Amino acid sequence: MENITQSPNLAPKFHNGRINVRSYPFNKEEEFQLDKKTTWVKDLLEELELDQMMAEGHTPSGTIEVKLSIEKKNTNTLRDHFILYGSVKASYPCSCIKCLELTRESFENEFSCCFIDSELGRSPKFENSTHINHGMNELELYTFENGFLDLKELIHENIYMVANPLPLHHVDCKGLCPNCGVNLNLENCSHFPPKN
């Protein structure tokens, strides 16, 4: 796999996570492996770590890896279109929703999709479609607009389909006292005396 951050000749294909569909070559499957050294991928990790960054003002300490296989094709039915197979994997610090203690979350998600022109996507044949059969595979159907395909938005969506919105540092976390703010995992308070 080629790493976009080490291949300057490939960089024009990805401008802030978008592909210029007109300049992308046909019938050449290309594979990319991206991480937080790529600015727009780092932005996605920063969003996951937002609460930590605001509290501590640090750069992302987690990891993120995006793998992509992309091929541009042309057929009578789909015209110019893109077939994408990919995965996104991340591990990052975040705050427990109950006690605000630091915990670590991780996830991995795989996706496969087909991008067609938005004009074709609005046609009666595709306007109500969310998936498309392509060869032996059923792919999610997306559209590209104004000559650009938005990879960053695709990966963002696939992150939030699997990222835990309610992280807990422990399943039995007691949280904070709503009156005095004491961490009830570490000590008792007069509002929540120990049960006998």
Query: For residue 172, which amino acid is it?
Result: D
> Number of folded domains in the chain?
1
Examine residue 191 and state whether it is found in any structural domain, yes or no: no
Examine residue 34 and state whether it is found in any structural domain, yes or no: yes
Examine residue 188 and state whether it is found in any structural domain, yes or no: no
* pLDDT tens-digit map of 97-121: 999 998 999 999 999 999 999 999 9
Examine residue 66 and state whether it is found in any structural domain, yes or no: yes
Examine residue 165 and state whether it is found in any structural domain, yes or no: no
* pLDDT tens-digit map of 154-189: 999 999 999 999 999 999 999 999 999 999 999 999
Q: By residue range, what is the domain housing residue 129? A: 4-160
Examine residue 190 and state whether it is found in any structural domain, yes or no: no
Please report, for the chain, how many H helices and E strands are present, in that order: 4, 8
User: Which pTM was predicted?
Assistant: 0.85
Examine residue 12 and state whether it is found in any structural domain, yes or no: yes
Examine residue 181 and state whether it is found in any structural domain, yes or no: no
- Integer angstrom CA distances of residue 41 from 36, 74, 155, 175: 5, 29, 9, 33
